[in-house]
Amino acid sequence: MAARRKSAPPAPALLEWAMGGLGLLLVLAALAVIVFEALRAGEPARLEARLIGTRPAGAGWLADVEVRNLGGETAAAVGIEGRLGAETAEATVDYVPAHGKHRVTLAFDADPRAARVSVAGWSEP
Amino acid sequence: MSASLALDRRRELAYARDLARAFGGALLFSLPLLMTMEMWWFGFILEPLRLAVFLLVALPLLFGLAFYAGFSAQHRGLGHALLDTLVALAVGAITAAAVLALFGVLEPGAPPGQIVGQLTLQAVAGAMGALLAGRQLSAGEEDIGDEDQAAYPGELFLMVAGALFLALNMAPTEEMILIAYRMSAVQVIALILVSLTVMHAIVYNIGFPGQEAHTRPFAAFVHYTLAGYGLVLLTSLYVLWVFGRTQGHGLAELVDAVVVLSFPGAIGAAAARLLV
């Protein structure tokens, strides 16, 4: 260290203090959120599918479905199933993050307003 | 203190230029990661514990990089290194947030844990790039950094940093595991030998201080190449653990994956003097 003290280092610029402060703030904020998530985690993934709307598309109909993960763990390869009478439609979602949601569209021949949508299953990421 | 806090236009402008260089370095290093979908997913796949460990382990590493490299020519000493570390993290986080928002990866309605996870991983990578910017982007016009003064532990630290520099870019992808699955035991052993040979060749040619490599080649092999490769293996294991790639693997498959990732790691470690 002594050798490096030949000339006193120049004082940091104001911009430097500002950026440094921002960095510190971001690190502490990130740690706070991560620790908060860690305390909330452990609760396994719990998925719910809900029909949020239908719209005609060409000869058929589309059903918009929202999948919510109410648990603290992320679910992967989530299978969504919709049934309308004898007709079934399905879609797969790569990931639904913990406490997150994802939108899926299912295709039917008739107006799927009365369709029953459900989550068929998922795997651990 | 009041005098040094006064606004000095020239000093602010000079620092703004350093800062621009830091942003350039962050982009250069983290763009491959920002455009890797596994990195987006890790934001919500990784357990918070791993993320926290990743961030906490990264702090001393970034501090070391700030001390030996850094992005500003006027900066010397521990205090500046600490400030540079924090600035680099801010630069990394801003770069990640801007690019991921531009790519439509950041979802406005996503839970905060997901966004923080995605940005934390990328911010650390970006901060590494920012701290190496002085070396990568200064075109040799000014010598930034104190790496010539590095003693033996410092040399080993630079090797770990160099290994991380390459390993971090490769580890997130599925291919590391896939390659390990495809390799037979003979191929894994061959890869170890190739890693050691290439590493030693680079170390030998770049020439570490003290000219030890030229007067005592075997000692140089043990002190730098073998010691460095050991650290590279540990670094690879750590990176694989952070990204959850160690889970559900048998010991043999895990070792294979570590060796695979250590190949780029070894080259990064050996070339640390060029990178850092």
pLDDT in tens, B45-56: 888 889 999 999
Count residue pairs from A and B with Cβ separation < 8 A.
Answer: 123
Position B137 scores a pLDDT of 67
Give contacts of A16 with chain B, Cβ < 8 Å: 15, 83, 87
Q: Give every strand in the sheet of A60-69, ordered side by side.
A: A47-57, A60-69, A101-108
Q: Do A12 and B80 touch (CB under 8 A)?
A: yes
The beta-carbon neighbor of A15 closest among B16, B88, B111 is B16
A109 to chain B, closest Cα gap in Å: 31
Q: Do B52 and A38 touch (CB under 8 A)?
A: yes
Spell out where B123-186 has E strands.
none
Give contacts of A70 with chain B, Cβ < 8 Å: none
Q: Reply yes or no on whether the pLDDT at A4 is more than 70.
A: no
Position A74 scores a pLDDT of 85
DSSP character string of B215-251: H-HHHHIIIIIIHHHHHHHHHHHHHHHHTT-STT--H
Taking a C-beta distance cutoff of 8 angstroms, is the pair A79, A52 a contact?
no
A24 to chain B, closest Cα gap in Å: 6
Q: Do B111 and A29 touch (CB under 8 A)?
A: no
Residue scoring higher pLDDT (A20 or B100)? B100
Average pLDDT over residues A72-77: 87
Interface of B with A in 200-259 (CB under 8 A): none
Q: Reply yes or no on whether the pLDDT at A41 is more than 80.
A: no
| Euclidean distance between CA atoms A47 and A73, whole angstroms | 10
Position B146 scores a pLDDT of 55
Position B203 scores a pLDDT of 81
pLDDT tier, A14 (very low <50, low <70, confident <90, very high otherwise): confident
A51 to chain B, closest Cα gap in Å: 19
The beta-carbon neighbor of A100 closest among B88, B93, B111 is B111
The beta-carbon neighbor of A34 closest among B51, B110, B111 is B51
Q: Reply yes or no on whether the pLDDT at A64 is more than 90.
A: yes
Q: Do A37 and B74 touch (CB under 8 A)?
A: no
| Euclidean distance between CA atoms B263 and B170, whole angstroms | 11
Position B221 scores a pLDDT of 82
In angstroms, the Cα distances linking B31 to A65, B95, B136, B186, B242 are 34, 9, 15, 35, 20
Q: Chain A residue closest to B49 (CA)?
A: A38
In the block, residue with structure tokens 């595991």: B177
State the first-to-last Cα distance of chain B, in angstroms, to the nearest integer: 33
Give the side-chain half-sphere CA count within 13 A for B24: 14
| Euclidean distance between CA atoms A1 and B110, whole angstroms | 48
The beta-carbon neighbor of B15 closest among A15, A74, A94 is A15
Residue scoring higher pLDDT (A35 or B268)? B268
Position A17 scores a pLDDT of 85
| Euclidean distance between CA atoms B201 and B245, whole angstroms | 30
Position A46 scores a pLDDT of 92
| Euclidean distance between CA atoms A59 and A30, whole angstroms | 49
| Euclidean distance between CA atoms B70 and B75, whole angstroms | 8
Position A5 scores a pLDDT of 44
A26 to chain B, closest Cα gap in Å: 7
Domain A47-123 bears CATH identifier 2.60.120.10: no
* Residue B70: burial class (beta carbons within 10 Å; 0-12, 13-18, 19+): buried
Q: Chain B residue closest to A7 (CA)?
A: B76
A77: tokens are 């390869």
Residues of A with CB under 8 A from a CB of B: 1, 4, 9-17, 19-24, 26-27, 29-31, 33-38, 41, 74, 76, 94-95, 97-101, 125
Question: CB neighbours (10 Å) of residue B60?
Answer: 11
Position A3 scores a pLDDT of 43
Position A99 scores a pLDDT of 84
Q: Do B75 and A100 touch (CB under 8 A)?
A: no
Q: Do A9 and B44 touch (CB under 8 A)?
A: no
A104 phi/psi in degrees, rounded to 5 = -130, 150
Give contacts of B59 with chain A, Cβ < 8 Å: 27
CB crowding A50-89: b at 16 or more within 10 Å, else e: ebeebeeeeeebbbbbbbbbebbbbbbebbbbbbbeeeeb
Low-confidence ranges of chain B (pLDDT < 70): 1-6, 73-76, 135-150, 207-215, 276
Position B210 scores a pLDDT of 47
pLDDT tier, A77 (very low <50, low <70, confident <90, very high otherwise): very high
pLDDT tier, A18 (very low <50, low <70, confident <90, very high otherwise): confident
pLDDT tier, A33 (very low <50, low <70, confident <90, very high otherwise): confident
